[in-house]
C-alpha cells in the first residue's frame, strides 16, 4: 500500500491524528509508542476480538501552497515492516501477543531485538578506539 497525504495542523497530536485516520472507531487502542517517525499501535479489533500490532510511518512536508502536510503509511506486524520496534513495543507484544501471527512477524521481532542490542552496544562502546 502507498502513502496517504493530507494537510496538517499542529493543534492535534500525531497519535490522535493517526488513530482517527488509520483505525477509526472499529479498533480500540491498547498500546502506543513511537521511535522517531515510526509509531506503534497495539490494537484490538472490536468485531473479531483479536489483538494485533500496527506500525505507522510518518513524514512531514512543507508546501508554499498547502502549508504543512503529513504523509503516513500503515502496515501490520504480520507484513514484516522494514522499520524495527523499540523495546517498549516488544515488551507489549511479549505480554499480549506472545506468539507472532506468522513467519514475517517472527523474523521482524527477532530483527528488532537484534537492532536494539546493536544500538545499545554501539552507545556503550562509542568512545573505544
- According to the model, what pLDDT value does residue 2 have? 85
Rounded to two decimals, the pTM is 0.87
Residue 100's nearest CA partner among 113, 116, 117 is 113
Q: Specify whether the backbone of 80 is left (phi greater than 0), alpha (psi in -120 to 50) or beta.
A: left
Provide mean pLDDT across the span 96-122. Answer: 92
* Mean pLDDT taken over the chain: 90
Summarised one tens digit per residue, pLDDT across range 21-50 is 999 899 999 999 999 999 999 999 999 999
Q: Distance (Å, rounded) from C-alpha 48 to C-alpha 83? A: 27
- According to the model, what pLDDT value does residue 48 have? 95
pLDDT above 60: residue 74:
yes
CB 53 within 8 A of CB 30: no
3 state SS of 46: coil
Residues across the chain: 129
pLDDT above 70: residue 126:
no
Amino acid at each position: 500500500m502507498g502513502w496517504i497525504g493530507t494537510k496538517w495542523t499542529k493543534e492535534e497530536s500525531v497519535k490522535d491524528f493517526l488513530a482517527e485516520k488509520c483505525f477509526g472507531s472499529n479498533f480500540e487502542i491498547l498500546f502506543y509508542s513511537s521511535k522517531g517517525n515510526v509509531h506503534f499501535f497495539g490494537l484490538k479489533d472490536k468485531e473479531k476480538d483479536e489483538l494485533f500490532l500496527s506500525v505507522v510511518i510518518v513524514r512531514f512536508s512543507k508546501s508554499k501552497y498547502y502549508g504543512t502536510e503529513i504523509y503516513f503509511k500503515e502496515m501490520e506486524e504480520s507484513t514484516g515492516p522494514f522499520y524495527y520496534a523499540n523495546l517498549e513495543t516488544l515488551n507489549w507484544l511479549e505480554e499480549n501477543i506472545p506468539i507472532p501471527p506468522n513467519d514475517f512477524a517472527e523474523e521482524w521481532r527477532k530483527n528488532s531485538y537484534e537492532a536494539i542490542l546493536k544500538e545499545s552496544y554501539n552507545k556503550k562502546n562509542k568512545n573505544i578506539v
